Structure 1
Protein backbone atom coordinates (compact mmCIF):
# COMPACT_ATOMS: atom_id res chain seq x y z
CA UNK A 1 0.00 0.00 0.00
CA UNK A 2 1.21 3.51 -0.85
CA UNK A 3 -0.03 6.59 0.96
CA UNK A 4 0.67 10.28 1.26
CA UNK A 5 0.86 11.52 4.85
CA UNK A 6 0.14 15.23 5.34
CA UNK A 7 -0.40 17.02 8.64
CA UNK A 8 -0.87 20.36 10.32
CA UNK A 9 1.85 19.63 12.87
CA UNK A 10 5.46 18.64 12.38
CA UNK A 11 6.26 14.95 11.76
CA UNK A 12 8.19 14.79 15.06
CA UNK A 13 5.05 15.65 17.03
CA UNK A 14 4.36 12.52 19.11
CA UNK A 15 0.97 11.68 17.59
CA UNK A 16 2.28 11.99 14.02
CA UNK A 17 5.53 10.18 14.83
CA UNK A 18 3.70 7.18 16.33
CA UNK A 19 1.34 6.90 13.35
CA UNK A 20 4.16 7.27 10.81
CA UNK A 21 6.26 4.65 12.61
CA UNK A 22 3.29 2.25 12.80
CA UNK A 23 2.47 2.63 9.12
CA UNK A 24 6.07 2.03 8.07
CA UNK A 25 6.50 -0.94 10.45
CA UNK A 26 3.49 -2.54 8.78
CA UNK A 27 4.91 -2.27 5.28
CA UNK A 28 3.09 0.85 4.14
CA UNK A 29 5.07 2.98 1.70
CA UNK A 30 4.69 6.51 3.07
CA UNK A 31 5.37 9.71 1.14
CA UNK A 32 5.44 12.61 3.59
CA UNK A 33 4.13 16.09 2.90
CA UNK A 34 5.13 17.55 6.25
CA UNK A 35 6.96 20.56 7.62
CA UNK A 36 8.81 21.36 10.83
CA UNK A 37 8.24 25.10 10.39
CA UNK A 38 7.24 26.57 13.75
CA UNK A 39 4.39 28.74 12.45
CA UNK A 40 1.02 27.29 11.41
CA UNK A 41 0.60 30.16 8.96
CA UNK A 42 3.78 29.07 7.18
CA UNK A 43 3.38 25.33 7.70
CA UNK A 44 -0.01 24.90 6.02
CA UNK A 45 1.02 26.54 2.70
CA UNK A 46 4.30 24.61 2.84
CA UNK A 47 2.68 21.17 3.20
CA UNK A 48 -0.02 21.99 0.66
CA UNK A 49 2.55 23.02 -1.94
CA UNK A 50 4.42 19.76 -1.34
CA UNK A 51 1.16 17.86 -1.77
CA UNK A 52 0.30 19.61 -5.03
CA UNK A 53 3.75 18.79 -6.46
CA UNK A 54 3.65 15.08 -5.52
CA UNK A 55 2.85 12.46 -8.15
CA UNK A 56 -0.34 10.89 -6.83
CA UNK A 57 -0.91 8.41 -9.65
CA UNK A 58 0.18 5.30 -7.72
CA UNK A 59 -1.06 6.47 -4.31
CA UNK A 60 -3.80 4.39 -2.66
CA UNK A 61 -4.97 6.95 -0.11
CA UNK A 62 -4.23 10.18 1.72
CA UNK A 63 -3.69 10.14 5.50
CA UNK A 64 -4.24 13.55 7.08
CA UNK A 65 -2.52 13.63 10.46
CA UNK A 66 -2.73 15.70 13.59
CA UNK A 67 -4.34 19.12 13.37
CA UNK A 68 -5.40 18.50 9.82
CA UNK A 69 -8.88 20.05 10.07
CA UNK A 70 -7.90 23.01 7.85
CA UNK A 71 -6.29 20.62 5.35
CA UNK A 72 -9.18 18.19 4.80
CA UNK A 73 -11.46 20.48 2.72
CA UNK A 74 -8.55 21.60 0.54
CA UNK A 75 -7.14 18.10 0.01
CA UNK A 76 -10.64 16.81 -0.79
CA UNK A 77 -10.84 19.33 -3.66
CA UNK A 78 -7.35 18.41 -4.93
CA UNK A 79 -7.74 14.63 -5.15
CA UNK A 80 -10.26 11.85 -5.61
CA UNK A 81 -8.19 9.47 -3.46
CA UNK A 82 -9.75 8.18 -0.23
CA UNK A 83 -8.92 10.29 2.84
CA UNK A 84 -8.26 9.00 6.34
CA UNK A 85 -8.35 11.84 8.86
CA UNK A 86 -6.88 11.66 12.37
CA UNK A 87 -9.27 13.83 14.40
CA UNK A 88 -7.12 13.51 17.52
CA UNK A 89 -8.21 16.84 19.03
CA UNK A 90 -11.05 19.24 18.39
CA UNK A 91 -10.00 22.55 16.82
CA UNK A 92 -13.14 24.10 18.36
CA UNK A 93 -12.37 22.86 21.88
CA UNK A 94 -8.71 23.84 21.56
CA UNK A 95 -9.37 27.38 20.30
CA UNK A 96 -12.42 28.17 22.45
CA UNK A 97 -11.85 26.38 25.74
CA UNK A 98 -8.17 25.43 26.06
CA UNK A 99 -6.50 28.48 24.51
CA UNK A 100 -9.52 30.79 24.92
CA UNK A 101 -8.78 32.58 21.63
CA UNK A 102 -12.49 32.76 20.74
CA UNK A 103 -15.74 32.65 22.68
CA UNK A 104 -17.66 29.54 21.69
CA UNK A 105 -20.59 31.69 20.52
CA UNK A 106 -18.41 34.03 18.42
CA UNK A 107 -18.01 33.81 14.66
CA UNK A 108 -14.53 32.33 15.17
CA UNK A 109 -15.87 29.77 17.63
CA UNK A 110 -18.65 28.78 15.26
CA UNK A 111 -16.13 28.51 12.42
CA UNK A 112 -13.94 26.05 14.37
CA UNK A 113 -17.00 24.02 15.39
CA UNK A 114 -18.03 23.85 11.71
CA UNK A 115 -14.46 22.98 10.67
CA UNK A 116 -14.36 20.02 13.09
CA UNK A 117 -17.65 18.67 11.79
CA UNK A 118 -17.04 19.43 8.11
CA UNK A 119 -13.58 17.86 8.02
CA UNK A 120 -15.01 14.64 9.46
CA UNK A 121 -17.89 14.67 6.96
CA UNK A 122 -15.48 15.04 4.04
CA UNK A 123 -13.09 12.29 5.13
CA UNK A 124 -13.75 8.72 4.02
CA UNK A 125 -12.59 7.38 7.40
CA UNK A 126 -12.00 9.24 10.68
CA UNK A 127 -9.54 7.99 13.28
CA UNK A 128 -10.84 8.58 16.83
CA UNK A 129 -9.26 7.18 19.97
CA UNK A 130 -11.85 7.53 22.75
CA UNK A 131 -15.59 7.12 23.11
CA UNK A 132 -15.78 10.77 24.20
CA UNK A 133 -14.21 11.81 20.89
CA UNK A 134 -16.57 9.51 19.00
CA UNK A 135 -19.55 11.10 20.76
CA UNK A 136 -18.27 14.59 19.93
CA UNK A 137 -17.17 14.10 16.33
CA UNK A 138 -19.95 11.73 15.24
Structure 2
Protein backbone atom coordinates (compact mmCIF):
# COMPACT_ATOMS: atom_id res chain seq x y z
CA UNK A 1 0.00 0.00 0.00
CA UNK A 2 2.98 2.32 0.51
CA UNK A 3 3.60 2.47 -3.24
CA UNK A 4 -0.10 2.78 -4.03
CA UNK A 5 -1.43 5.81 -2.14
CA UNK A 6 -5.17 6.12 -1.60
CA UNK A 7 -7.42 8.44 -3.56
CA UNK A 8 -10.87 9.92 -3.03
CA UNK A 9 -13.35 9.59 -5.91
CA UNK A 10 -15.70 12.57 -6.19
CA UNK A 11 -18.52 13.20 -8.67
CA UNK A 12 -19.84 16.55 -9.86
CA UNK A 13 -22.70 17.74 -12.05
CA UNK A 14 -22.63 20.26 -14.88
CA UNK A 15 -26.34 20.99 -15.23
CA UNK A 16 -27.38 23.29 -18.08
CA UNK A 17 -30.59 25.27 -18.15
CA UNK A 18 -32.54 25.58 -21.40
CA UNK A 19 -31.29 29.19 -21.87
CA UNK A 20 -27.59 28.21 -21.87
CA UNK A 21 -26.80 29.01 -18.25
CA UNK A 22 -25.26 26.41 -15.93
CA UNK A 23 -25.92 25.60 -12.29
CA UNK A 24 -23.20 26.37 -9.76
CA UNK A 25 -23.18 25.85 -5.98
CA UNK A 26 -21.71 28.40 -3.56
CA UNK A 27 -20.04 26.69 -0.59
CA UNK A 28 -20.81 27.89 2.92
CA UNK A 29 -17.96 29.82 4.54
CA UNK A 30 -17.42 27.20 7.28
CA UNK A 31 -16.82 24.33 4.81
CA UNK A 32 -13.64 23.39 2.96
CA UNK A 33 -13.38 25.72 -0.05
CA UNK A 34 -15.98 27.93 1.67
CA UNK A 35 -16.87 31.09 -0.19
CA UNK A 36 -16.14 29.54 -3.59
CA UNK A 37 -18.41 28.38 -6.41
CA UNK A 38 -18.28 24.76 -7.56
CA UNK A 39 -20.05 22.21 -9.67
CA UNK A 40 -22.35 20.45 -7.14
CA UNK A 41 -21.66 16.87 -6.12
CA UNK A 42 -19.77 14.88 -3.53
CA UNK A 43 -17.83 11.77 -2.58
CA UNK A 44 -18.48 8.34 -4.05
CA UNK A 45 -19.13 5.82 -1.26
CA UNK A 46 -17.29 2.50 -1.20
CA UNK A 47 -18.91 0.08 -3.67
CA UNK A 48 -21.06 2.81 -5.26
CA UNK A 49 -21.06 3.45 -9.00
CA UNK A 50 -20.17 7.08 -9.83
CA UNK A 51 -23.45 7.90 -11.62
CA UNK A 52 -25.50 6.46 -8.72
CA UNK A 53 -23.37 8.45 -6.27
CA UNK A 54 -24.09 11.62 -8.24
CA UNK A 55 -27.84 10.98 -8.20
CA UNK A 56 -27.66 10.52 -4.41
CA UNK A 57 -25.44 13.55 -3.81
CA UNK A 58 -27.58 15.88 -5.94
CA UNK A 59 -30.76 14.75 -4.15
CA UNK A 60 -29.10 15.42 -0.78
CA UNK A 61 -27.44 18.68 -1.77
CA UNK A 62 -29.99 20.25 -4.13
CA UNK A 63 -33.25 18.36 -3.56
CA UNK A 64 -33.71 17.38 -7.19
CA UNK A 65 -33.96 13.98 -8.81
CA UNK A 66 -31.76 12.89 -11.67
CA UNK A 67 -31.83 9.77 -13.79
CA UNK A 68 -28.46 7.98 -13.74
CA UNK A 69 -29.04 6.76 -17.31
CA UNK A 70 -29.17 10.36 -18.59
CA UNK A 71 -25.78 11.30 -17.07
CA UNK A 72 -22.89 11.60 -19.53
CA UNK A 73 -19.18 11.87 -18.62
CA UNK A 74 -17.85 15.34 -19.41
CA UNK A 75 -14.36 15.47 -17.92
CA UNK A 76 -12.25 14.88 -14.86
CA UNK A 77 -9.68 16.64 -12.73
CA UNK A 78 -7.25 15.36 -10.15
CA UNK A 79 -5.33 17.01 -7.36
CA UNK A 80 -1.57 16.77 -7.18
CA UNK A 81 -0.41 13.61 -5.49
CA UNK A 82 1.10 14.45 -2.14
CA UNK A 83 2.27 11.65 0.11
CA UNK A 84 0.56 13.18 3.18
CA UNK A 85 -2.98 13.27 1.85
CA UNK A 86 -5.07 11.19 -0.54
CA UNK A 87 -5.39 12.41 -4.10
CA UNK A 88 -8.83 13.76 -5.08
CA UNK A 89 -10.22 12.78 -8.49
CA UNK A 90 -13.40 14.57 -9.60
CA UNK A 91 -15.47 13.00 -12.38
CA UNK A 92 -17.73 15.57 -14.05
CA UNK A 93 -21.03 14.54 -15.63
CA UNK A 94 -23.60 16.46 -17.64
CA UNK A 95 -27.33 15.88 -17.76
CA UNK A 96 -30.13 16.97 -20.05
CA UNK A 97 -30.96 20.69 -19.79
CA UNK A 98 -33.00 21.59 -16.72
CA UNK A 99 -36.33 23.26 -17.34
CA UNK A 100 -36.78 25.99 -14.72
CA UNK A 101 -40.56 25.64 -15.05
CA UNK A 102 -40.32 22.21 -13.37
CA UNK A 103 -41.92 21.93 -9.95
CA UNK A 104 -38.71 20.97 -8.15
CA UNK A 105 -36.08 23.71 -8.34
CA UNK A 106 -32.47 23.17 -7.22
CA UNK A 107 -31.87 24.71 -3.80
CA UNK A 108 -28.91 24.65 -1.43
CA UNK A 109 -30.08 22.18 1.22
CA UNK A 110 -26.70 21.97 2.97
CA UNK A 111 -26.03 25.71 3.15
CA UNK A 112 -24.58 28.17 0.71
CA UNK A 113 -26.50 29.11 -2.40
CA UNK A 114 -27.12 28.08 -5.99
CA UNK A 115 -27.05 30.20 -9.10
CA UNK A 116 -27.32 29.93 -12.86
CA UNK A 117 -24.46 31.41 -14.89
CA UNK A 118 -23.28 31.65 -18.48
CA UNK A 119 -19.91 30.02 -19.29
CA UNK A 120 -18.31 33.49 -19.41
CA UNK A 121 -19.68 34.30 -15.96
CA UNK A 122 -18.50 30.94 -14.59
CA UNK A 123 -15.01 31.68 -15.86
CA UNK A 124 -14.96 34.79 -13.61
CA UNK A 125 -16.34 33.10 -10.48
CA UNK A 126 -13.95 32.28 -7.63
CA UNK A 127 -13.69 28.46 -7.75
CA UNK A 128 -11.59 25.70 -6.18
CA UNK A 129 -8.63 24.73 -8.41
CA UNK A 130 -10.18 21.47 -9.64
CA UNK A 131 -13.41 23.24 -10.62
CA UNK A 132 -11.33 25.70 -12.65
CA UNK A 133 -9.94 22.71 -14.59
CA UNK A 134 -13.42 21.19 -15.02
CA UNK A 135 -14.92 24.47 -16.27
CA UNK A 136 -12.13 24.86 -18.82
CA UNK A 137 -12.69 21.32 -20.07
CA UNK A 138 -16.46 21.74 -20.22
CA UNK A 139 -16.49 25.08 -21.99
CA UNK A 140 -13.45 24.52 -24.21
CA UNK A 141 -11.28 27.23 -22.71
CA UNK A 142 -7.48 26.85 -22.84
CA UNK A 143 -5.78 25.73 -19.61
State the TM-score, normalized to the length of structure 2.
Answer: 0.28
Greater RCO, 1 or 2 (C-alpha within 8 Å, sep 6+): 2
Structure having the higher helix fraction is 1
* Higher strand proportion: 2
| Structure-1-length-normalised TM-score | 0.29
